[in-house]
Structure 1
Amino acid sequence: MKAYVIQNGTYQLVDTPEQQPKGRQVLVHLKTAGLNHRDLNIKDRVGSKAEPYILGSDGAGVIEKTGDEASRLEIGEEVIINPSLNWYDNTEAPPEDFQIVGVPFNGTFAEKILISEDFVERKPTHLNGKEAGVFALSALTGYRALFTQGKIKEGETLFIPGVGGGVTSFIIQMAKAFGARVITTSRDSDKLKQSEKLGYDRGIVTDEDWKIALADEQIDLVIESIGGATFNKSLDVLKKGGRIVTFGSSTNDEFTFNLRSFFYGQYKLIGSTMGSREELHELIPFVEEHNIKPLLDKGYPLDDIDTAFTHLESQKQVGKIYIHM
């Protein structure tokens, strides 16, 4: 079985032994797998350990074999992988044993994955195989940030910097389906144009003065994932008493903001990460009802996964990059 691993501090495409399902495990023959920005950071986390770790958090395929205690799914069913392990109920924060598929748990950049049936779901009916392979991590992260933590309401205005990423693309579509107004940004005016298909109401270029450009807007909720480069700019355009949710940081994690201005403004700062299986079970019928799909950028064969990583690092994609087996 071919698999893309981190081993001895380097990325390698290797042959690994295929394991057989036991108990409540299932063996999924993967057809596609999605790249996420977390994949770029695994190398620093793992270091130079000799043990190989299979990368990848998103994937879709077909049930090939089941353990003798597995009963939820049948051989031959099309499924997606739930990358959020051991988080069953919608709680305030993930449980202590929460993990994400793809280090330290073996991931989806492989021809097959062995996983508990608890973390496999039937493929959403409206998605094709490529779309299903990039769906779960981004959509689940966006769903929790927007609904559980952000508590978006119909008619509110959402500001979400950084159009074109997997999570932001889902958030924009879900917010519009729910009846919110959506404003977004990009460093690239061409990317803004290409992303109009997501249905956002207004887009501005990142280099603009946001306070001037958005002076006529009443922004109820900001969802931030860029970090230090934009956090204060986002806070500046949020209405007094508004909410700001952060689920990531693609720039610097540490920065300063004016605490006095923050508490005088009565702002609410909320963290978010991934989501529970309960939320995934809410998400799937929601996206099916509203025909919400991931925006696809480009696909690569597993043998050319290094090129896919280079493309991901460039940040030039509009939508999700995927691997096909």
Structure 2
Amino acid sequence: MPANSAFSTEFWRGFRVRASIFFNPNHNGMKCIVLDSTHSDGIAYTELREPEPGPKEVKVRIHAAALNHRDQWCREQKYPNLKDGVILGSDGAGEVVDIGSKVDKSWIGKQVLINPALNWGDNQSAQQPDFRILGMPDHGTFAEYCCVPADRVHQIPAHLDSVHAAALPLAGLTAYRALFYQGQIKKGDRLLVTGFGGGVAQLAVQFALASGARVAVSSGSGWKLEKALEMGVEAGYFYHSESWVEEAKGNSDGFDLIIDSAMGSTINDLLELVRPGGSIVVYGATLGTMKEVNARNLFWKQVRLQGSTMGSDRDFEQMLDLVSHDSIQPTIDRVFSLSEATRAFDKMEKTEQLGKLVLQI
């Protein structure tokens, strides 16, 4: 077989990813889930060497780790700067079992969750250029152990176990910043959360209800709308219906704030529904970029269209305060073992879940 053949290239690429399983001289191996573009699943359940903490790091024995859409996008090769062999996972909770030389020893033995936002910087309004999220390109939480800077760990709120704590960081931070920093939500405001069912959306609903807002949701699943009503929202709209916008307009005189993760052509529906002077905060674009915008609705209604992603360290701390004060508990759809990660990814791909999918390790 010629050395430059497609087969040879693919073989050796896959070989390098898996080499640690067969030739790892360190007996302290750990199970983990890595990105593997050569595998039919796009990911691999494998074994790598246990990490050791740097001087300013802590080593966390991961008890639970939650999936996010970015993990699935990495699996589908739809995320930038991908690299095979990187451990996926941004959300994690567990116990600090080791520390670096410059870390306070009191962290040893504490039950913690991890803030996956790395290098946000000092500017509250936006992240700095070298901002990144744990789990790509840095090794993440889908592993038995994870080392992170000591300032990334926080004690788990007293009312949460490790499974629910693991479901909180990325989704909770994103929801909190979109609602409170960007959306400036306050008691009595009318809020619409689109795409109810995902981790960010269900936490945004809980945070908004705790703040005294009047909440409505949209979803493509009837049973998810029923769950939202059980949580205390005032109305739910089935967005596959051609009349859902008119129905929503008939039930209110508009929304003060809309939190959206879809974007695409649906932005014009939201411009119909937002009140004059209201805000639309977008934290994702699952339907792609917007191609046409009803500019008149945008400027004549004096709408604020604001992007948002993740959040600062201050946002994270304030989010934890809210969660603790109101005993908020993330909704868990299902818990899988680490070896069942492919099943969890497949379920996320089908958008069948209500709330978070968690790997228990």
TM bucket, shorter chain: over 0.9
Amino acid at match of 2:163: K
What is the rounded CA distance, in whole Å, between the counterparts of 2:321 and 2:82 in structure 1?
42
Contact 2:272 2:297 in 1 (8 A): no
Distance 1:211-1:7 versus aligned 2 partners, 3 A rule: closer
What is the rounded CA distance, in whole Å, between the counterparts of 1:210 and 1:194 in structure 2?
18
What is the rounded CA distance, in whole Å, between the counterparts of 1:158 and 1:39 in structure 2?
28
Q: 1:4 is matched with which residue: 33, 38, 41?
A: 33
Query: What's the CA shift for 1:2?
Result: 1.0
* 3-state DSSP of counterpart to 2:349: helix
Q: Which has the higher contact order (CA 8 A, sep 6+)?
A: 1
2:116 is aligned with 1:64? no
Alignment of 1:1-325 (within 5 A): 1-9=30-38, 10-42=42-74, 43-45=77-79, 49=83, 51-71=84-104, 73-89=106-122, 91-208=124-241, 209-214=243-248, 215-217=250-252, 218-325=254-361
Distance 1:96-1:73 versus aligned 2 partners, 3 A rule: farther
* 3-state DSSP of counterpart to 1:104: coil
What is the rounded CA distance, in whole Å, between the counterparts of 1:212 and 1:253 in structure 2?
24
CA-atom RMSD in angstroms: 1.6
Amino acid at match of 1:130: V
Distance 1:89-1:169 versus aligned 2 partners, 3 A rule: farther
Distance 1:239-1:23 versus aligned 2 partners, 3 A rule: same
Query: What's the CA shift for 1:266?
Result: 0.9
What is the rounded CA distance, in whole Å, between the counterparts of 1:62 and 1:180 in structure 2?
36
Distance 1:56-1:118 versus aligned 2 partners, 3 A rule: same
Q: Where do 5+ consecutive residues of structure 2 fail to align? A: 1-29
Contact 1:31 1:324 in 2 (8 A): yes
Q: TM-score, normalised by structure 1?
A: 0.95
* 3-state DSSP of counterpart to 1:154: coil
Contact 1:30 1:112 in 2 (8 A): yes
What is the rounded CA distance, in whole Å, between the counterparts of 1:8 and 1:249 in structure 2?
24
Amino acid at match of 1:25: E
Amino acid at match of 2:68: N
How many residues are matched? 324
* 3-state DSSP of counterpart to 1:97: coil
What is the rounded CA distance, in whole Å, between the counterparts of 1:56 and 1:116 in structure 2?
16
Q: Where do 5+ consecutive residues of structure 1 fail to align? A: none
Query: What's the CA shift for 1:7?
Result: 3.1
Between structure 1 and structure 2, the one with the greater Rg is 2
Deviations 1:64-95 (A, max 9, x none): 10011011752110000101111254611111
* 3-state DSSP of counterpart to 1:233: helix
Deviates more, 1:17-26 or 1:102-111: 17-26
What is the rounded CA distance, in whole Å, between the counterparts of 2:123 and 2:229 in structure 1?
32
Query: What's the CA shift for 1:292?
Result: 0.9
Deviations 1:264-303 (A, max 9, x none): 1211111100011111111111111111110010011001
What is the rounded CA distance, in whole Å, between the counterparts of 2:153 and 2:82 in structure 1?
31
What is the rounded CA distance, in whole Å, between the counterparts of 2:228 and 2:185 in structure 1?
22
Distance 1:48-1:165 versus aligned 2 partners, 3 A rule: closer
Contact 1:8 1:47 in 2 (8 A): no
